[in-house]
Structure formats: C-alpha cells, structure tokens
Structure 1
Amino acid sequence: GFCSQSWTGLIAQLCSGISIVCWLCALTPQIYLNWRSGNTESLSLSFILIWLSGDICNLLGCFLTNQLPFQKFLGIYFCTFDSMLCFQLFYYRWWVKRRDSQLLRSMGFSDTSYHHHLAPSSSSPDGQPQAGTALLAANYNNPTAPDFFEGPAASGANDAFSLLDPSSASSDSPIIGRIIAWVCCGFYITSRLPQILKNHRRRSVEGLSLSMFIFALNGNLFYFSSIMLQSFVSPPGLLLASLPYIIGSVGTVLQDFTVFSQWFVFRR
C-alpha cells in the first residue's frame, strides 16, 4: 500500500545519504597516510588515473545533462580529491626523489647508490617500499549514490533517473546520459585491477589505507541498496536505466573484497 511505498522510499533515501557520506570520506584516509609517510610507492598510478578519468567523465555528464547544483558540487569535490592524490603521487614519487637525488650527488653520493637505497626492491621478501620514497581506491568505484531526495541520481549515477524524466534539459540528454553512464561504468569496474595486480606482485598492501576501501565498499553497497529499494516505488524502467550503475557498483564491490583478501593474506 501507500504506507509501504513511503517507507521503502524513505529507506532508499537514507541509503542514498549514507552512500554519499561514505564517498565524501573515502579518500581522506589515503591522502592523510600519504602525507604522514611521505610515500606513495604502494599506489598504482593506473589505478588513480582510471579512477580520476571516471570521475571527470561523471562530472562532464552532470553539466552536459544539466543536473542539480548539488550533483555538480559532488562531481567537483571528487575530482578535486582525486587530483590531490595524483599530486601526492607525482610529488613524492618523482619530485622529492629527484630533489633528494640531486642533494646526495652534491654530497658525493652516486645517483645509482641513491636509487638502490631508496627504491623498493622487487626481490624484497615482503615487497614493502623502503623508507625515504614515498590511492586511492577506487571508484569511486561508482563514486556516488543516487540522490533520491531530489529525483535524479547524484554524481556518479547522475542520469539513471533523469533518463526517465520527460522534463530533461534537452532531447539529447537521455542519449548523452546513457553514453556517459556506460563509459563511467567501464572506468569504475576496471579501476582497481591495476592496484590488485600491483599488490599481488609486491606481495604487500603496505602503504594502502584499508579505511579508504572500507568507505568505498560501504558507499557502493548502500548505493546499490538505494537503487534496488527505489525500484519498488518507481516506474518499471528504472532498473534498466540504472543498469550501468548497478554493474559498476557490484563489480567494484567484488574487487574491494579481493583487496580485503590480499590484506589478510599479505599481512599474516
């Protein structure tokens, strides 16, 4: 009945809000860990760049399909934090290394001995990066939850519901939304693979923030739950329109569990 639909919609909104909060907090632990350790050697550059590409694509989708200001804000927020991670990676991995190398050469040390001392050794038993050298996780496996408070989905799923709305900004919006949705899905479901491979090769997860992956996992789980709950009180086409976001969320959740399994295996 109506009461049941109201409760279902309310719970869907709650799941959506929790998902957004999780994503707002997701990158902070890794950024802090990088700053504290001065080291980003454990992070996969491809992982971060693919995640950033997905978020940039999502942000473009927000503007091209004329989404709500809140959704645009979320898109800008996530791209900003992704960029901070990228900056840390390049700063600690190349600029600091180059600066210290030049300093040591001026003191009479060879550049070869410097890099041999600081670079993580592939033959190291635990694969840990060495001190002196220097993620996200990603994304935002699908970085955000649908905003059921306003109708259209929030950043990262910004077109799943507006596709069903005949009052979309333009007749091209549904087509643009579908294309962007699937492109974002492709970025997000492949983003963690480089990091998983790097963890396997290093036989270590040292330098990665487990909190980042926990926030990402919960963000995706609550996001998926919000879509499924909303499907009970929405037009029949909702699930089909939301398919790329569902695939993106489920795919990244499975990869998050892979990272967790690596965490327990490599830290034993």
Structure 2
Amino acid sequence: MATARFPERKVDLAVSNYSAPVLGSPLCVNGTHWILYLLEECVENIWEYCSVVIGLISMLCFLLSTLPQVYEAYKTGKVEEAVSFGFLFFLFSGDVSSFAGCYLTSQLPIQVITVVFYIFTDVILISQFLYYKIKNMSGRKRPLLKWMCFTWCGAATLALLVLPKLILDTSTPLYSQTSASSKSVELTGFICGYVASVFYLCSRFLQLYKNFQRKSTEGTSYLLFALAMMGNGTYGLSVMAVLPALRGSKQTFLIKHLAWLIGSLGVLVLDFFITAQFIIYKKKKRISLKSSALLKVPEVEPLLCEEEELSVL
C-alpha cells in the first residue's frame, strides 16, 4: 500500500495471488477481467472482489471531497477566515509523502495517477486560499492577480495530464531490482507512509483549533469532511475485507498496512470531532439568531392591542 487513501495493489507474492509476468503464461486464469484490465490485479474470490469495489468507492469519495470546498470558497470569498492554511499545507504534504511511497515501491498506474490527482486538488485549494487572501487584504479587484491564478491552475492541469505518464515510464518495478535494493526502497516507502499519516493527522488538529478559535464553521463546507469520512471508512473496510481470503500471513499483511490504517482511521476519528463542531456551532448560531429576532420585536404591540379593545367598547 503506497497511498493513504487507496488499498495496496502491489506485486507481493506473500500476500497476494497476483503472479509476476512470465513470458508465454497468463497473468490470471480465473480472475475478474475488468479488474485485471484496469488495476492489473488478479481477483478470484468474493472477498477480494468486495475489497476492490469498496476501495474504488473510497477513491471516488476522496476525488470528490475537495469540490464542495472549492465552491464554498468561491461563493463566500472568505476562505482565509474559515480554513486553516496549516490544514491545507499538511494535507498537501501528506499527499506528497504518499506519492513518494507510491513511486518508491512501484505501485500500480491507477494509484500513481490517483495520488497525483490528490496533489492537483491540493494545489487548487491552496491557490484559491492565497488568491482570496491577497484580494481581501487589498480591498479591491486585481485583474493581474486573477489572470496569474488562472495561469497557475492551467499549468497545474497540464502537469496533471503529463506527469503520471512521465513517472510511469521512468519507474522501475520491484521485481526487476536486487533483493537488498528492493528491501531498502520498500522500507523507505513505508517510512513515507508513516510520515504521510502524521501529516494527515496534523491537518485535522489545525482545522479543529481554527474552528474552536473562531467558535464557528461558517465558510467551510461540511461535505469536504463528510466525503473524507466516507473515504477513510471505506478504505479501512476494503483492507479488512480481504483478510478472510488472504493466503499469506495476516499479521504481515496488517503490519504492511499499519501506517496507512493509522492515518485513515485516525483522521476518521478526528473528523467526528469536526462534525461535532459543525453541529454545536450551528446550534449556537440558531439560538443567537432567535434571541436577536426577539429583541427586535416592537414593545408597542401590547399597547396596540389595548387600544383596539377600547375602541370595541
């Protein structure tokens, strides 16, 4: 596993039934064809099939999670007040570390492309944050700043289309390396996994502090965290789903996934606290709005009622 958001699909004969390419022999005889074609993974039983499908759902949740926040920031224009820059920075750092793990352990193409897409969405969020911060500080529209932002996002989009192909062409599979070299590279990839988990956890702590400091979650889209919770939850479930059909050591399998399980499930727990903040601060806002509405009620209403009674008499 080389990305903290998608289950491991690497060539590992100890924990997988995927066989290394051999000239003249099929990769997978009884596997699911569409999974073999898209993910290059041999899936021959219902447990592995469920693991892959749940993993794809997890990936989709993460791919969609940043879109609501981009729209919320565009609608309010006050992203620097609502979102902690540390949250965005550590999220970006976590994805870069996760990408390093993907590259060093020669993961599947879909994993590399996915983690590059995560970095791309992080760049968009950070660019949007800096744009509105500079714009709101100046107090007036800056056409040059707007065009610079569009140019930067265009360059990031171009890099998103070109970078995965370049990375996949220059990467070296683990089975083509020497035993000592592959172990060293794999160990470095696992270290990157632990570093990524730390970055993901730190990002949530900083956003929790930002919300607590403001006593509000206004300007932050809850769908960002709701979809992230679904992604992290389904990720953990996809890893556990494959255990009943695992042919190798379950303990070894869990140890190899431990860094990313800590990161995903730890972030899931912290997102429950952020959910609690959304509920508490929204309830307080409703109470304050009701109290302010009651204070604005004219005090002459009872007098008007008394005047109407006298006129009737």
- Residue number in structure 1 paired with 2:258: 243
| CA displacement at 1:102 relative to structure 2 | 9.4
Partner of 1:137: none
1:5-154 paired onto structure 2 within 5 Å:
6-40=45-79, 41-93=81-133, 95-100=134-139
Closer/same/farther in 2, CA of residues 214 and 190 from structure 1, 3 Å limit: same
For residues 50 and 103 of structure 2, the distance between their equivalents in structure 1, rounded to whole angstroms, comes to 28
Answer with 1 or 2: which has the greater Rg. Answer: 2
> Aligned AA for 2:139?
D
For the residues of structure 1 that align with 2:94 and 2:176, how far apart are their CA atoms?
23
Residue deviations 1:87-111, cap 9 Å, x none?
Answer: 1111101x202432699xxxxxxxx
Superposed CA RMSD in Å reads: 2.1
- CA distances 1:69-89 after superposition (whole Å, capped 9, x unpaired): 221111110101001110111
Q: What is the distance in 1 between the residues matched to 2:63 and 2:140? A: 37
Contact conserved, 1:48 with 1:82, CA < 8 A, in 2? yes
Deviations 1:160-181 (A, max 9, x none): xxxxx97375512321121111
C-alpha separation between the residues in 2 aligned to 1:61 and 1:9? 23
The number of residues matched between the two structures is 203
Task: Report the CA distance between 1:68 and its aligned residue.
Answer: 2.0
Secondary structure of the residue aligned to 1:206 is coil
The structure richer in helix per residue is 2
User: What is the TM-score with the length of structure 2 in the denominator?
Assistant: 0.61
Alpha-carbon separation, structure 2, partners of 1:102 and 1:9: 54
Q: CA deviation at 1:8?
A: 1.3
Q: Distance in 2 between matches of 1:245 and 1:21?
A: 18
SS in 1 for 2:262: helix
The residue that corresponds to 2:274 in the other structure is 259
Q: Distance in 2 between matches of 1:38 and 1:213?
A: 20
Identity of matched residues, %: 30
Q: List alignment gaps of at least 5 residues for structure 1.
A: 104-164
Counterpart-to-counterpart distance in 2, 1:63 and 1:166: 11
Question: Any gaps of 5 or more consecutive residues in structure 2?
Answer: 1-43, 143-172, 284-313
Q: 1:204 to 1:98 in 2, by over 3 A?
A: closer
Q: After superposition, what is the alpha-carbon deviation per residue over 1:36-94, rounded to whole angstroms, capped at 9, x for unaligned?
A: 2212010001111001000011112222222222211111101010011101111101x
AA matched with 1:266:
Y
Separation in structure 2 between the aligned mates of residue 254 and residue 85 of structure 1, nearest angstrom: 23
Q: Distance in 2 between matches of 1:39 and 1:233?
A: 49
TM-score, structure 1 normalization: 0.71
- 1:98-247 aligned at under 5 Å gives the runs 98-100=137-139, 167=175, 170-171=181-182, 172-234=184-246, 235-236=248-249, 237-247=252-262
Q: Give the secondary structure class of the aligned counterpart of 2:139.
A: helix
